[in-house]
Amino acid sequence: MTARDSLSPGLSLSKRRARSAMWFLTPMLAALFFVAAWPLLRTIYFSFTDTTLTNLYTGKWVGFDNYLSFRQLSSGRVIWRGTLADMSWWNAVWNTVRFTALSVSIEAVLGIGVALVLHKEFVGRGLVRAAILIPWAIPTIVSARMWGWMLNDQFGIINDILLNVGLISAPIAWTASTETAMTAVLIVDVWKTTPFMALLCLAGLQMIPKDIYEAAKIDGVHPLKVFFKITLPLMRPALMVAIIFRALDALRVFDLVYVLTPNSKATKTMSVIARENLIDFDKFSYGAAQSTLLFAIIAVFVAAYVWIGRVDLGGGSK
């Protein structure tokens, strides 16, 4: 240390501290650069070239052709090409947005419900709290396969139960028919991620001071009003964090759809279609463009959330 001190005599203690902190951070920053930034930049670069999977290093720069380009035919008709003019891409965007909106709202409502129950004192609460996390702990591939079998039209248990109860008259081919495919995916996703929501909501609930409830009780406030006027506003920060996490996850959903309803037009999401182009269709750069768009959409979403969060923060501090 003495050698260092003599080398930089003019630096104050805080500056020296900042400098040594930099050294501690460097390995982490380097790791982040190589596992996150580098692949991302490379994908963005690929999206402006005509790279294929067989020749990763010989792609030529093509500008925005993978995103949007047009050609005029000799007949005068203009043909638009590129991801932004691709109907299947917009279908995937719509599927993803629909999936995100539906799954996150259902999970938020159910999650709050479960959290409220788990917040109450009852015998065996610890056990129930642990048990409810099981769906979240199972790898998605496994749960998707499992549900795939349960939803099967011939030997699936779901159809068997519904038939026996008399709710349906003929077995439903959940994952096969285009009308029910999205429902099937939603069922599995809700089953899997409600515990996660519940856990985050429960953490939010536990932050609320008990005396507020006592005061409300003494004043004789109706429990529903207590929920909407006290519980919900106070757990809102935790809930918002949970929702943003889930929404980010849902926007890039891949494994569940890929295993449960592969290739179904009704459920193909942005990630699924990007992979399809990257690998199956020999349109690597086109898929890279779609991945880049997916990244951009998520980035916009996060930025919007941060902005809304700031506004709220300002409002809360008055």
Partner 1 sequence: MTKFSKRLLGAAALTALFSASSGLAEEISYASGITGNGLENFKTIVAPWEERTGHKVNLVSMPASSTDQFGQYRVWLAAGNADIDLYQTDVIWAPQLAEQFVDLSTAAGDLAKQHFSSIIESQTVDGKLVALPLYTDAPALYYRADLLEKHNAAVPTTWEELTKTAQLIQDKEREAGDKDLWGFVWQGNSYEGLTCNALEWVKSFGGGQIVEADGSISINNENAIAAIELAASWPGTISPQGVLAYQEEESRGIWQTGNAVFMRNWPYAHRLGSADDSPVKGKFGVTTLPTGGGHDTSAATLGGWNVAVSKYSKKQEIAVDLALYLASPEAQKLRTLISSRLPTIVDLYEDAEIAEAAPIVPQWKDVFLQAVPRPSAPTKSAYNEVSSRFWTAVHETLSGNGSAAENLELLELELTERRGDSW
Contact residues toward partner 1 (CB under 8 A) are 52-54, 56, 79, 81, 152-154, 170-173, 175-178, 262-265, 275-276, 279-283
For every residue of the chain, DSSP letters joined together read -HHHHHHSTT--HHHHHHHHHHHHHHHHHHHHIIIIIHHHHHHHHHTTB---SS-TT-PPB-TTTTT-EEEE-TTS-EEEESGGG-HHHHHHHHHHHHHHHHHHHHHHHHHHHHHHHHHS--TTHHHHHHHTTHHHHS-HHHHHHHHHHHT-TTT-HHHHHHHHHTS-SS---TTTSHHHHHHHHHHHHHHHHHHHHHHHHHHHHHHS-HHHHHHHHHHT--HHHHIIIIIHHHHHHHHHHHHHHHHHHHHT--HHHHHHSTT-TTT--HHHHHHIIIIISS-HHHHHHHHHHHHHHHHHHHHHHHHHHHHHHHHHT-
Instruction: Name the minimum Å distance from CB 3 to partner 1.
Output: 47
Instruction: Name the minimum Å distance from CB 263 to partner 1.
Output: 4
- CA dist 7 and 20 (Å) reads 14
Instruction: Name the minimum Å distance from CB 178 to partner 1.
Output: 5
265-267-273-275 Cα dihedral, nearest 10 degrees: -130
Closer by beta carbon to partner 1, 192 or else 283? 283
Closer by beta carbon to partner 1, 162 or else 298? 162
Instruction: Name the minimum Å distance from CB 81 to partner 1.
Output: 7
Closer by beta carbon to partner 1, 170 or else 218? 170
Closer by beta carbon to partner 1, 52 or else 183? 52
Instruction: Name the minimum Å distance from CB 236 to partner 1.
Output: 41
Closer by beta carbon to partner 1, 229 or else 265? 265
Closer by beta carbon to partner 1, 15 or else 265? 265
Closer by beta carbon to partner 1, 101 or else 168? 168
Instruction: Name the minimum Å distance from CB 176 to partner 1.
Output: 3
Which residues, in sequence order, are bridge partners of residue 71?
79
Closer by beta carbon to partner 1, 16 or else 275? 275
Residue 251: which of 295, 303, 284, 281 has the closest Cα? 295
Instruction: Name the minimum Å distance from CB 95 to partner 1.
Output: 14
Instruction: Name the minimum Å distance from CB 57 to partner 1.
Output: 11
